[in-house]
Amino acid sequence: MSSRRAMTTVGSLVVVSVSAVLTLPFPAGAEDQGPGSSEGGKVVDAAPAGVRTTTLLPERISVDNASGKTSITATVKNEGTQDGEQIRLLVVGFDGLTVKSVQGCEAITAKDLPEGSNSGFSCAIDHLAAGASKSYAVDATFDLKKTGKICLPVQTGDGAKTYWQQGPVPFGTTNPSPNAPATPLLLGTDNTPVGPVGDELPRTGVGRDLLPLGAAGASLLMAGAAGLWWSRRPAGPRAN
């Protein structure tokens, strides 16, 4: 094969490869979600000396307007100077945001879910080292006709204490995009539902819109240092 012919063949292969890459479909939410944010997070129970557990959620996600599917990265960190004990991260959905799966985690049974929530998963973590973090891929759906919130509590392995809780914090947009392929949502923004009465948020729980975090958020913190609604309940059965 002559060098000119070889170069032509290689060039054609490159074009085909680039075209294949460009035409691969990408799921909603797979793009850069921006830096992680601890917005809506607070300490509940005191952690062991030298341990400082926090969580992060992406600043933005994208919801596919046809399927309602989205993806979220949930991160737990130990920002302290000492290694942590065994803990568990809970990922809980509220209102229009339903958590479908969390990679490597177990579904929380319906009877153990907090009042007002619709779904949740429990992620067991062994001894998170000082300065270390662990991220989980969360598959979810978002009903753009409703508001939607997510909550990330971090508890001891037995659920007796809650060191940190982020949320329930909303994802949403004040500018719905019903005719676009996807709708971008921002963390900490109340969603303006798509529809003719988008200026009025739907009531999806008894009095939930009366408090900054909603009644579900209040129920999460009501027990204070004694723990949260499921603080002494074991995690749900292992998902198949």
Domains and CATH numbers, the chain: 33-226 (2.60.40.10)
pTM assigned to the model = 0.72
CA separation for the pair 64, 68 (Å, rounded): 5
| Nearest CA-CA partner of 60 in 145, 178, 182 | 182
C-alpha 150/C-alpha 171 separation (Å) is: 8
Instruction: Name the strands in the sheet holding 53-58, side by side, starting at the edge strand that comes first in the sequence.
Output: 36-37, 53-58, 69-78, 133-142, 97-102
Helix (H) or strand (E) holding 107: strand 106-107
Provide the 3-class DSSP secondary structure of residue 158. Answer: coil
| Alpha carbon distance 70, 186 (integer Å) | 13
Helix (H, G, I), strand (E, B) or coil at 85: coil
- Is the pLDDT at 174 greater than 60? The verdict is yes
* Distance in angstroms (rounded) separating the CA atoms of residues 163 and 221: 12
Which of 172, 162, 170, 171 is CA-nearest to residue 220? 162
User: In terms of Cα–Cα distance, which of 134, 145, 149, 142 is closest to 71?
Assistant: 142
Please confirm whether the linkage preceding 168 is cis (ω < 30° from 0).
yes
Quick: pLDDT tens for 28-83: 434 557 789 999 999 999 999 999 999 999 999 999 999 999 999 999 999 999 99
Interatomic CA distance for residues 225 and 237, integer angstroms:
26
Residues 40, 189 contacting (CB under 8 angstroms):
no
Dump pLDDT digits (tens) for 206-238. Answer: 333 333 333 444 444 443 333 444 444 454 544
Q: Is 180 helix (H, G, I), strand (E, B) or coil?
A: coil
Question: What are the tens digits of pLDDT across the range 102-119?
Answer: 999 999 999 999 889 999
Total residues belonging to the chain: 240
How high is the mean pLDDT of the chain? Answer: 78
